[in-house]
Amino acid sequence: MPQVIEDIKNNLFVYIYTNDHIPAHVHVFKGRKNDANQMEIKINIGNEEAPPTLVKADERIKNKDIVNALKLIATNQEMLLSKWEEIHGI
């Protein structure tokens, strides 16, 4: 599960799982891997015609963090989609 983006300012870490399924999506974590309070947000990457969309989020996560995660994915959408295709051979 390679980490593809690290947003230190917002404490967000974006991963693409190597053995995952379509549609193309990422797992965004609020907090580092070994952090006991780490929380996950799953976001579909979207494409040229569709913006990233929220799939699910840990119930403890703040709306502000979800918005920041969506913005982060939208800003890096093209790179993330390319990385997803590279990892999954699509």
pTM over 0.85: yes
SS3 state of residue 53? strand
Q: From 55, 49, 50, 47, select the one nearest 28 (Cα to Cα).
A: 55
What confidence category does residue 8 fall into, taking pLDDT thresholds of 50, 70 and 90? very high
Instruction: Return contacts of 48-53, CB within 8 angstroms, 24+ apart.
Output: 51/77, 52/77
Q: From 57, 29, 35, 54, select the one nearest 44 (Cα to Cα).
A: 54
Q: Are 15 and 2 in contact (CB under 8 A)?
A: yes
Question: pLDDT tens digit string along 23-55?
Answer: 999 999 999 877 788 999 999 999 999 999 999
